Amino acid sequence: MQQDPNASLVGTECEVEVGPVAHGGHCVARTESGRVLFVRHTLPGERVVARVTEGEETSRFLRADAVQILEPSKDRVEAPCPFSGPGKCGGCDWQHVKPGAQRRFKGEVVAEQLKRLAGLTPEEAGWDGTVVPAEGDKLPAGQVPAWRTRVQYAIDAEGHAGLRKHRSHEVQVIDRCLIAAPEVTELGVEKREWPQIASVEAIASTGSTDRQVVLTPKPGGRLPIVELDKPVSVLRVGEKDQQIHRVHGRPFVRERAADRTWRVSEGGFWQVHPKAADTLVQAVMQGLMPRKGDMALDLYCGVGLFAGALGERVGEKGAVLGIESSKRAVEDARHNLRDLDRVRVEHGKVESVLPRTGIDKADVVVLDPPRAGAGKQTVRHLASLGARRIAYVACDPAALARDLGYFAEAGYRPVTLRVFDLFPMTHHVECVAILKPTGNRV
């Protein structure tokens, strides 16, 4: 009898020896027939029973969960969070892993991406192979740093708050998120019901006592009266325009980093870890070493974090241009940097705005692109400006490695790479690469 090539394999189980960690919070294993499995909730070297969660007979690879640990790794611990595990919350990839091993595995992923996509060894990238924890995050096994200052809660059909399951729209109802910052937990979002609401984003500023919730009603849903355990501003996402509107309180939160106060409006982007902004500014400025009189670029500049740090350092004879695609973030950046007349912030996509500026030379550049990276066109344009140093801030090592390959083609190479564990218990890392011209620029 011929097998249906589209037959689902979901739910089937097999015993496997687990191989190396891979980008995405899982490990690679193979079935006896040679089929590749991407397995979550396991560790390299373990022997487990894996249950398929996605895939068909014709799939190139299958996704699976380790539902039984037959031979555990010495790096395994009991997951501190009761909502972590197969079929549960998809937010944390590494609750079951000792903190030091988490950082080691993240380093292995970064090294693998550099080699595969950029053809670079850690030494060639100027990296010593370490993944550095944020201040205060180096905790014993079994303890979880409470670092997440912005949490997006999904609401189930009964109005209970929770978090999405891995690669699913299903909601895992929770009574507490262990990695949420104390100031988020204090709001008590999980304690109350949210009828007619699809999601609740809770934001706790690290630079002030500002607290904010952004509510997304279900289609046709009415906004409830919001009474949480701490004073909080309330915003809502409009059903028709998908824009964020103030309901009551401030439409922004005030953050503190690089010795400045930053206005971040209407749920706009800010680094989620309370130590991240200062950590990244320090790494970028140490790498760029900006000088008085420099012409500097801050691309994908958000509310102006790096532009502000550069503006302080280039002096009155220097100049900084920031470019950002979010109109609200540009308004915030101009407000935040209004005392620095040498800083100008333009609205639009980098690949569109930068060529129109007429700038044909820059001394130093920082770019912090979205997860997809900057891309070949933007990289080639930046290389043509002849900067003596470029700082590339990346939240995705694959995108970083791809763009480093493009920089190499355009005559720039990394001289230092630093990797920071700013997302403990997850597979994510933040990287800062400093590039210099090779002398063979095209």
> Sign of the C-alpha dihedral, residues 230, 231, 237, 239?
positive
Distances (CA, A) of 136 to 100, 164, 396: 14, 28, 23
Longest dimension (CA), the chain: 79
Q: Phi, psi at residue 218, to the nearest 5°?
A: -65, 160
- 395 in active site: yes
**The tokens of 77 are what?**
């611990």
Bridge partners (DSSP) of residue 298 are 322, 366
List, by residue number, the catalytic residues. Answer: 395
